[in-house]
Every structure is written in C-alpha cells, then in structure tokens.
Structure 1
Amino acid sequence: MKLDVLNVDDDKMILFIYEKMMGHADFSSHPKSFSNGYETLDYISEYKNEDTKFLIFLDVNMPNLDGWQFMDKLKSIGLNKYCHVLVVTSSIDLSDKEKSETYPVVIDFVEKPINIEKLKELKNLKQLKPFFEN
C-alpha cells in the first residue's frame, strides 16, 4: 500500500515550508499541496484506489470550505475510507481538539507550527507506522 501525503492550507508559504520539511524529515519526498479543500476533494476523487491511503495535513481555518466542512464532505461522498487526517491548527481552543475527536478519519491533532521532530513522531502513529517501516 502506498501513502500519498496531501497538505491543505490557504497559506502558500506554509505549504512551501511543509513540502521542504517533509523532504528533510524523510516523511514524504513528493507531498502534494492544495490551497483549498475543493481541489483536494477533486484530487482524491480522481486518484483513489484500494492500494493508496491519503494522509491529509488539514488546516481547520480556511475560507470557502473549512476543515470541518471538508471532513463532512469527505464522508458524505464516501472518500473517508481512503484517508487519514491530521488536523493542523494554530488554535489553542480545547473545543477544536475535542471536535476533531468526533471525526473517525482524524488520527491526530497537531498544533502549528509543524517541525521536523513532530513529523518524525507522527511516523510512529499506529495508522502510519506500516508506511515507514523498512
């Protein structure tokens, strides 16, 4: 099975930084970046298959389609079974963390900024570990 890493954030600088960090942390050599949830849904719809799992680093606070609406849409169109979501936010509001726990597709809640050490820790999550074992 293959892991396809997707970064979703409306800040293009954040997306650039994530791509570089993921390469340096040996997390993903070719992550894909999207500045809105609709583009991400289109990508997953087009490339979904039984041999691929999408790992989505999802910003919660985005215009047009926020992270919560994105996950609702993911479920309603039946794409959630192909995905793991890491909710990424600068929010320190405990209610956001609690809300993220109500979505089965969410495997972790990550506070911004993400760093190389955090990426290395994420490799050990039970849902991700098989993708990083040699």
Structure 2
Amino acid sequence: MKKVDIACIIDDDPIFVFGTKKIMKLANFCNSFMVFHNGEEAINNLRPIMESNNASLPDVILLDLNMPIMDGWEFLEEFVKIPSQKEVTIYIVTSSIDPQDIERAKYYDKVSSYLIKPISSEKLQQILSAEI
C-alpha cells in the first residue's frame, strides 16, 4: 500500500503528538514526520520550504485549533496566503465540537476534513486512502 511521504502534526499536546506518531508508525502511514508545537513555529518553518522548491513540504497536515502563541485558525490564515506548487491536504484534528468551528473549517479549500480527537488507526487509514 502506498503511503504519505511527509506528515506534519501541529499540536501543543505532547501526549497527542506521541500517540499520533505511534499510531502512524503502526499504520505505516508515512515515511517521516514534522512536528510543530504551535502555528507560529509551523508557519516559520513551512514558509521557507513553500517559497523554495516545495520538495520537503508535507503531503498531509494534522492541525489542532487550540494552541498558544498562534492557534490553528491563525495558522490557516497565514498558510493559505503563501503560494505553493505542491498540494497540501489539511485535516483539522481537535477536541473542539463547537458547531461554529466545524462550519468555519468548510470555508478553507485546503481543509479536507474536521476530525474530533482522539484519532484512531482506522481514521488514519481513511485519510491514507483519500490521499492515494
């Protein structure tokens, strides 16, 4: 089965990051990871990649909404402004069940789905199937 080359996790919860990486490894989901603990750290690291050749840009981003410094919405606002040759699929993975957040996510073309934590191996397999 084909797998994602680079997966990016943007989340400030070390337990979620650890668990998600473990599930991704068990599901043979991706070749490598990028992990950022808030939106600002992610945008500061992804912008130069996007402005260059995009070779090491992630294929999939799992984005939390509630983070310090720069939250997921602020990250999305900045991310969509940066031109990119490579298509990046974003999955919002959050504990927020707020209907306003779910509706707001639909306004972003790059957001493929809105997933409620915790994420399961089955859900990762569905994401992988959609990416192939």
Q: TM-score, normalised by structure 2?
A: 0.84
What is the CA–CA distance in structure 1 between the aligned matches of 2:105 and 2:25, rounded to whole Å? 27
Task: Flag structure 1 segments of 5+ consecutive residues without an equivalent.
Answer: 130-134
For the pair 1:67 / 2:69, whether they are aligned, the reply is: no
SS at match of 2:32: coil
Report the number of matched residues.
Answer: 126
What is the CA–CA distance in structure 2 between the aligned matches of 1:80 and 1:87, rounded to whole Å? 22
- Summarize the alignment of residues 35-74 of structure 1 with structure 2, pairs less than 5 Å apart: 35-48=37-50, 49-51=53-55, 54=58, 55-74=60-79
What is the CA–CA distance in structure 1 between the aligned matches of 2:129 and 2:85, rounded to whole Å? 21
What is the CA–CA distance in structure 1 between the aligned matches of 2:108 and 2:8, rounded to whole Å? 18
Do the aligned partners of residues 77 and 29 (structure 1) sit closer, same or farther apart at CA in structure 2, a change above 3 Å counting? closer
Check conservation: 2:46, 2:57, Cα contact below 8 A: no
Once the two structures are superposed, residues 29-52 of structure 1 have per-residue CA deviations (whole angstroms, 9 ceiling, x without a partner) of: 422211111221122223333555
The one-letter amino acid of 1:57's match is L
Counterpart for residue 9 of structure 1: 11
Do the aligned partners of residues 95 and 81 (structure 1) sit closer, same or farther apart at CA in structure 2, a change above 3 Å counting? farther
Q: Percent identity?
A: 33
Counterpart for residue 86 of structure 1: 91
Counterpart for residue 118 of structure 1: 123
Counterpart for residue 24 of structure 1: 26
What is the CA–CA distance in structure 2 between the aligned matches of 1:94 and 1:52, rounded to whole Å? 34
SS at match of 1:31: strand
Check conservation: 1:8, 1:58, Cα contact below 8 A: yes
